[in-house]
Amino acid sequence: MKRSSGDAYNFDLFYDNPESKKRSEPVVVSELPDIDNLYRMFAIYNNQYFDGCLPQVKISYSGRMMVAGAYYPGKKEIRLSLKYHQIFPDEVYDTLKHEMIHILNIRHDAQFRKMADRIGASVRANEHPTLRRQPRYIYICPVCLTEYPRHKRLRMASCGKCSKNGFDARYKLILKKKPTKTVES
pLDDT in tens, 58-93: 999 999 888 899 999 999 999 999 988 998 999 999
CA distance 96 to 91: 9
Mean pLDDT across the chain, nearest whole number?
A: 82
Name the nearest CA neighbour of 171 among 151, 156, 154: 156
Per the CB < 8 A criterion, the answer to whether 26 and 13 are in contact is no
pLDDT at 67: 87
Q: At what angle are helices 110-119 and 35-50 packed, to 10 degrees? A: 100
Residues 122-127, mean pLDDT to the nearest whole number:
83
Of 18-27, 40-49, 52-61, 88-97, the range with the lowest mean pLDDT is 18-27
CA distance 81 to 78: 10
CATH 3.30.2010.10 is right for the domain spanning 11-131: yes
- Whole-structure pTM value: 0.61
Per the CB < 8 A criterion, the answer to whether 51 and 111 are in contact is no
Cα separations (Å) of 175 from 136, 150, 158?
A: 11, 10, 12
